[in-house]
Structure 1
C-alpha cells in the first residue's frame, strides 16, 4: 500500500477534495500536532511545580489540592470518548484548532484563580475538556497521514509531551520565582492561543485510505464501536497497562515536586531545583522515545510481537526504579532513578497507540483512543493524586509520598503482567494486517 501522503485528494471532512496534498505535508502536520500536544501538556504540568505556592495563596489543604488533578482526570475521562466519537465523524482539523485556542485561554485564566472552585473551573474543567478533545483527533489524523512511518511519527509526537513538561518545569519555576505563580499560567496559555491561530491556516484534514473511506461512508454507531472494542482482548489488556501508566504519571507530575520542596523533608529544594524531577526524567524519556521509534519500526517487521515484548519489559523494569526513587536519600540517586523511570516509561508510551492500532480496525480508531484514555484517567488519573494527597495530609508530605512510590511500583507490576498476558495469549489472534483484516482470518494463524 502506498503512503497516504502520495494521494491527491483531501478527505471529505475538509471539503477540499480537488486540492493536492504535498508529499512532505505529513512532516509539517507532525510539527504542528507536536506543538499543539506540547502546549496542552505544558499547560497541564504548570500546576505541579507551583503546588506549594498555590496552596498557600488559595488556602488549600493537601487533600483538597489532590482533588484538583482528580477533577481534571474525571473531566478527561468523561470527555475523551465523546471527543473520540466526534473525531470519527467531523473535521479533525477544526476540533484540534479550536480546542487549542479555548484550552490555552483557560490555562491563562487559571492564573487568575481566587479559590478552589475557580481553579477547578479553568484548570480542571475547561482546559481538560479541550485537551480531551485534542487526543483522539490528533492521534487519528497523524495515523492517517503516516503509514510506513507511523511509529517514528508517534515517537516524535510523544516526545512533545516530555519537552512540554521539561520546559514547563524549568520556565514555570523561573517565572514563579521572579513574578509569581500566576504568571506561569499566563505565559503558557498565551503561547497556546497564538499557536491555535496559526493552526487555522496550516492544519489539513487527511485523505482516506481504502479502510478509512469505507468507514467514512458508514460511520459506526456508539454501541457498535463499544461492542467491537470490548471483543478485542488485546485492546482490553493494553487498557489495563495504560491505566497503570496514568496512575503513576499523575502522581509523579503533581506531587513529586512538593515532596522535594518539603521544608521539613530530607531534600528541602527550591522550585527550580525540584524541577530536576522533570528535567532528568524527561531527557531520558525523550531520548528513549526518539531512538525507540526507529528501533521499533525496524524490528516489528521481523517480529510483530516486538512492541508487546518491549512494553512488558518496560513496565516490569520500571517498577523497581520507581520504588528506588522513594527510598533513595542521596539527591544524585534520586535523579538517576527518575531518569531510569523516564527510560522505561518512554519505551512503553512510544508504542501505546501503535499497539492499539495493530488490533483495532481503522473505522474504530478514534473511538478506541477515547475509550482507552477514558478508562486510564477515570480510574488511574482520579484515584492516584487524591489517594497520595489523602495520606500526605494525615502522615506528612514525606511519609505520604514514600507510600505513593510503593503504590506506583505496584501499579507498574500490574501493567507489566497485563502486557505479558496479551503477548502470550491474545495478540496473535487479534492482530490486523496492513489492510485491516485479522491475520488469522487471512492465513489461518
Structure 2
C-alpha cells in the first residue's frame, strides 16, 4: 500500500471512530450543535415572513390571497432545488452543501428588506426557498450516520429544537423589531446570523464517514449512484414508510398554516398589536413546543424498547389530541382559555419531529437517507408550507363576507382535519413497521 493510500486509510479510520458513537463522541455532539444552529437559521428565515405579513399587506395594499403567495412561492422553489441537492448530498461532502446553503438563503433574506414592490419581495422569497433547500437533507443524513438507531430519535429531536427556537426568535425578537424598526430592518437582522454561521461550519464541522462504509476507502470515494425513482418507488410501496410520509406531510401542513397566520389571527380576533402578538406566539408556541420536540424523542426512544410499533402509537395519539387543542385555540374568545389551548397544541403538535423522521431514516439505506429527506422536505414544503397557508388565505377571503374579522379564525379551524388524517396514517404505519425495519437491517447486514 502506498504512503498516500495509508494516510487516506488512516484519516478515514480516525474519522470513523466518531461514526455511530452518538452522544459519546465529542465530534458528533459538536456537529449536532452546528447543524441545529444552521437549522435554526433556516427556521428563522422561513418563519420571519409571518410577523411581517400585516405591515406588508398595508404598505403594498394586498389581499390575503396575495399574501398567501409568498409562502407558496418559497415552497415551490424550495422543492425545485431540494431534490437535486438531496441526491447530491448522498454523493459528495455534505458540509460544503450546508455552508453554501446557509450563505445563499441568509443573503436572500436580507435582500427581502430592500424590496420596493410585491414582485420584488416575491423574487427575494424565491431566493430564500431555493437557498434553504440544501441544508435539511444533508443535516439529517449526517446525524443518522453519527447517532445509532437507539439514539436517533433523541438526536433528531435535538436537531428539530431549531424549529421552536426559530419560532421564539421570529415572534419575540422579530415582533419587537417590526414594532420598533419596521419590517425591512427585521429581514436584514434575520439574514445576518446565517452568514457568520456559514463560516463557522467550514471551520469547525467535519464530514462523518457514512455508516457501514468505514472499512473501505473505495466505497466511500466511489459511492453507487442514488436513483431518485428507486427511492420514490420504495417510499410509495413500503407501507410503513408510505404512511409515515403521509402523516409527516399532513402534520406539517397544519403547523405551517397555523404559524404563518397566527400573528394576523391574534391581531384580528383578539386585538393584539404586532409586538404583543409576536411575544405570545414566541412564548406559547416557540418556548412551550421545546417540551414537545424534546419529549417526543426521549419518549419514543424509551418506548422503542417495547417495540418499534410504540413509536407510531405515540405519533397517532399526539395527532389525535392535537385536534381539540387546536380548535380551542382558534375558537375560544376568552384570551386565557385561548392561550392554554395554544400551549397544549404546541406540545402535542411538535411531538412527531424526532420519532417520525428517525423512523424514516432507519427504514432506508445509508446512501438513500439524504434523498429520502429531500423528498420529505419536498412534500412538507410544497403541500405543508406552500399549500396550507394558501388554502387558509383563500378560505379567509371566501368566509369574509359572512364572518368579517373572524373569517381567518374559521378558515384556520378547518385545517384541524389534517391532524385527524395524519393520525390515521401513523396508526397504519404501526402495522408493518417492525417487519420493514427488520428487513432493512438484514439488507444492510448483507451488504
TM-score, length-scaled by structure 2: 0.89
Look up the match of 2:224.
Answer: 218
Gaps of 5+ in 1: 1-8
Asked whether the 8 Å contact 1:256–1:401 carries over to 2, the reply is no
1:227 paired to 2:237: no
Shift of 1:420: 0.9
Look up the match of 1:369.
Answer: 373
Asked whether the 8 Å contact 2:293–2:352 carries over to 1, the reply is no
Shift of 1:430: 1.5
1:199 paired to 2:201: yes
Look up the match of 1:272.
Answer: 275
Match of 1:342 among 339, 346, 352: 346
Q: Secondary structure at the match of 2:306?
A: coil
Shift of 1:333: 1.3
Provide the rounded CA distance (Å) in 2 between the counterparts of 1:379 and 1:46.
19
Query: Aligned ranges for residues 148-159 of structure 1 at < 5 Å?
Result: 148-159=150-161
Query: Aligned ranges for residues 40-51 of structure 1 at < 5 Å?
Result: 40-51=42-53
Provide the rounded CA distance (Å) in 2 between the counterparts of 1:300 and 1:11.
38
Provide the rounded CA distance (Å) in 2 between the counterparts of 1:421 and 1:228.
17
Look up the match of 2:164.
Answer: 162
Moved more, 312-321 or 214-223: 214-223
Shift of 1:16: 5.8
Provide the rounded CA distance (Å) in 2 between the counterparts of 1:85 and 1:258.
38
1:208-257 Cα shifts (integer Å, max 9, x gaps) = 22268768632322223323332212111112111211211221121111
Query: Aligned ranges for residues 87-126 of structure 1 at < 5 Å?
Result: 87-123=89-125, 125-126=126-127
Distance 1:338 1:211, change over 3 A: farther
Shift of 1:438: 8.5
Shift of 1:182: 0.8
Asked whether the 8 Å contact 1:10–1:207 carries over to 2, the reply is no
Match of 1:417 among 424, 438, 442: 424
Shift of 1:379: 2.4
1:242 paired to 2:245: no
Distance 1:19 1:422, change over 3 A: closer
Asked whether the 8 Å contact 1:162–1:285 carries over to 2, the reply is yes
Match of 1:282 among 282, 286, 290: 286
Query: Aligned ranges for residues 7-22 of structure 1 at < 5 Å?
Result: 17=12, 20=15
1:340-393 Cα shifts (integer Å, max 9, x gaps) = 111112211221211212322222111111112212222233222112112323
Provide the rounded CA distance (Å) in 2 between the counterparts of 1:380 and 1:11.
44
Match of 1:261 among 258, 264, 267: 267
TM-score, length-scaled by structure 1: 0.89
Provide the rounded CA distance (Å) in 2 between the counterparts of 1:370 and 1:198.
24
Q: Secondary structure at the match of 2:416?
A: helix
Shift of 1:132: 1.4
Q: Secondary structure at the match of 1:350?
A: helix
1:317 paired to 2:321: yes
Look up the match of 1:6.
Answer: none
1:380-415 Cα shifts (integer Å, max 9, x gaps) = 332221121123234336433222333221110000
Provide the rounded CA distance (Å) in 1 between the counterparts of 2:436 and 2:115.
48
Distance 1:222 1:395, change over 3 A: closer
Structure having the higher helix fraction is 2
Provide the rounded CA distance (Å) in 2 between the counterparts of 1:209 and 1:370.
19
Provide the rounded CA distance (Å) in 2 between the counterparts of 1:395 and 1:406.
12
Look up the match of 2:301.
Answer: 297
Look up the match of 1:55.
Answer: 57
Provide the rounded CA distance (Å) in 2 between the counterparts of 1:292 and 1:233.
23
1:427 paired to 2:433: yes
Q: CA RMSD in A?
A: 2.5
Distance 1:232 1:433, change over 3 A: closer
1:314-358 Cα shifts (integer Å, max 9, x gaps) = 111101111111110011111111111111122112212112123
1:130 paired to 2:131: yes
Look up the match of 2:21.
Answer: none
Shift of 1:11: 10
Provide the rounded CA distance (Å) in 1 between the counterparts of 2:438 and 2:375.
19
Provide the rounded CA distance (Å) in 2 between the counterparts of 1:128 and 1:436.
38
1:65-106 Cα shifts (integer Å, max 9, x gaps) = 111111112222332222211111111000000110111011
